[in-house]
Amino acid sequence: MAKSVEEVRAEIPFLRTGTIYLDNAATTPTPQPVIDAMLEYFSEYSGNIGRGLHRVTRRASEAFEKTREKLARVINAKPGEIAYAKNTTEAINIVARGLKLRKGDKVVATVLEHHSNLLPWQRLERERGVKLELVQVSRECLIDPAAVEAAIDDKTRLITTHHVSNAVGSIQPVEEIGKLARERGVLYLIDAAQSVGHMPVDVRKLGCDFLAAPGHKGLLGPQGTGFLYAREDRLAELEPLLVGGGVVELVEEHKYDLVKPPQIFDAGTPNIPGFIGLGRACEYVLDIGVEQIAKRERKLTEQMLDISGFERVEVYGPHELKRRGSVVSFNISGLGHHDVASMLDELARIAVRSGHHCAQPTMHHLGVEGTVRASVHYYNLEQEIEKFTTTLEQIARELGG
């Protein structure tokens, strides 16, 4: 049976501080079972992985590797298709640096991408002469697959888009874009930072070649963890971002042979306790049920969207609830976004994000410098959202204009 909201809240120590935490798009608080899994590693088998035959390193290695299986279950992949990374940014960079793109090759992205899915391609544009084309989007921040198709030419090697906008919450038609990519023989990378753990994600159904996601957002895992899914036949095409200890089969004075994927991406000592914790977090999310998480987040998001009816409040992103993730981005006329966020914190201990959300081209598209962003997860309460909306209405009424 799925874990209830009350059970989950009771297992998140951070919530005992009394903070109404609506900044889940940045990072989520960690449940006690995830913390316990990491403490167990430190207390009982705090050894390195793959560097010895004693029982401590054997246990650590086994626990570390099992997380691939658990991540694979979450997104319907194979364990051998999961490469570890410290975050979504690193996972995207593994693809950007590892594909060996050359001058004249083309990458298609959109103006809505998080900086993590924009800067790696801009660097290739600057360093290697790779062409980057950014597709324009609707006022509601939705991607039109036809616009993506129009940007594809015979030089296009890769399409990359986000699944859910971190800035405004728009859910993109990634399945349609994946179908386009397959039909045109182009690789497709999805930035799933705001979808994995929040909603069902099936890489087979999406038809993507690569998918990057963090451990510390929807999956309720620790910071400093993330992963790259790469389809089995694509993983071997990627050069590892790092080489060094822990990934070699043979080293001579002037040559080396590396291990096979996915372990080829684990150079150096990785975040062993973090990935063990991430494995437990995957189990935790699956115990709740991803469908249940998505259903509850949709309900909470609908409640948050009451603010769109408030005088002086402008909400950005799609009007239709089915096109929205668990993010609501807004401004109050006459007030700076940072000021609004500070007032929510001071008046009601409500934590939200303000700024450009590492998505400055998105802000340019909206014609603003930044927004206030509220984002929920399964554990949030209707009473918390009510407190948020009533406090925001008071701020808009008394100070906006």
pLDDT in tens, 35-60: 999 999 999 999 999 877 889 999 99
Together in a domain, 182 and 48: yes
Task: Label the pairing between strands 131-135 and 106-110.
Answer: parallel
* Active-site residue (options: 141, 208, 282, 358): 358
Q: d(Cα 388, Cα 344) in Å, to the nearest integer?
A: 8
212: exposed, middle or buried (C-beta count within 10 Å: 0-12, 13-18, 19+)?
A: buried
pLDDT single digits (tens) 157-183 = 999 999 999 999 999 999 999 999 999
pLDDT digits (tens, 9 = 90+) for 263-313: 999 999 999 999 999 999 999 999 999 999 999 999 999 999 999 999 999
pTM of the complete model beyond 0.95: yes
Structure confidence by residue, pLDDT tens digits, 54-78: 899 999 999 999 999 999 999 999 9
In a domain, 401, yes or no: no
Are 350 and 255 in a shared domain?
no
- Report the C-alpha gap between 267 and 269 in whole angstroms: 7
Q: Say if residues 401 and 30 touch (Cβ distance below 8 Å).
A: no
**Whether residue 1 has pLDDT greater than 80:** no
298 and 213 share one domain? no
Q: Where are the beta strands (DSSP E) in 37-155?
A: 82-85, 106-110, 131-135
Q: How many domains in the chain?
A: 2
Phi and psi, residue 396, nearest 5° = -65, -40
pLDDT value for 280: 98
**CATH number (domain holding residue 160):** 3.40.640.10
Q: Are 245 and 220 in contact (CB under 8 A)?
A: no
Based on the fold, state whether residues 239 and 384 are members of the same structural domain: no
The pLDDT value given to residue 235: 87
Q: Same domain, yes or no, for 22 and 51?
A: no
Q: Is the pLDDT of residue 153 over 90?
A: yes
Is 272 part of any domain?
yes
Residues 47 and 168 both lie in one domain: yes
Residues 38 and 126 both lie in one domain: yes
With both helix axes pointing from N to C terminus, report the angle between 32-44 and 55-75 in degrees, rounded to the nearest 10: 160
**Is the model's pLDDT at 150 over the cut of 80?**
yes
83 belongs to a structural domain: yes
- pLDDT value at residue 2: 78
DSSP structure class, residue 171: B
Of 325, 329, 328, the C-alpha closest to 293 is 325
The dihedral sign for the CA sequence 381, 384, 386, 388:
negative
- If we measure between CA atoms, which residue out of 169, 161, 230, 160 comes closest to residue 194? 169
How do strand 187-191 and strand 210-214 relate by DSSP bridges? parallel
Cross-strand partners of 133: 108
Residue with the larger pLDDT of the pair 290 and 401 = 290
The domain boundary, picked from 233, 257, 287, lies at 287
Residues 182 and 75 in one domain: yes
Mean pLDDT of the chain: 96
Domain identity same for 55 and 182: yes
Does residue 131 sit within a domain? Answer: yes
Whether residues 231 and 371 share a domain: the answer is no
20 CB-near residues (< 8 Å, 6+ apart): 348, 349, 350, 351, 384, 387, 388
Looking at the DSSP bridge assignments, the partners of residue 249 are: none
H helices within 185-271, ranges in order?
A: 203-206, 232-235
Which of 287, 322, 338 corresponds to the end of one domain? 287
From 287, 310, 343, give the residue that closes a domain: 287
Domain residues for 328? 5-30+289-396
Count Cα neighbours of 232 within 13 Å in the Cβ-side half-sphere. Answer: 7
Residue 383: the pLDDT is 98
Same domain assignment for residues 277 and 339: no
Q: Is 141 an active-site residue? A: no
Q: Has residue 308 been placed in a domain?
A: yes
Q: What is the pLDDT of residue 52?
A: 73
Is residue 251 predicted with pLDDT exceeding 80?
Answer: yes
**Domain check: are 120 and 212 in the same one?**
yes
Domain assignment present for residue 198? The answer is yes
Residue 64 included in any domain: yes
The CATH number of the domain holding residue 20 is 3.90.1150.10
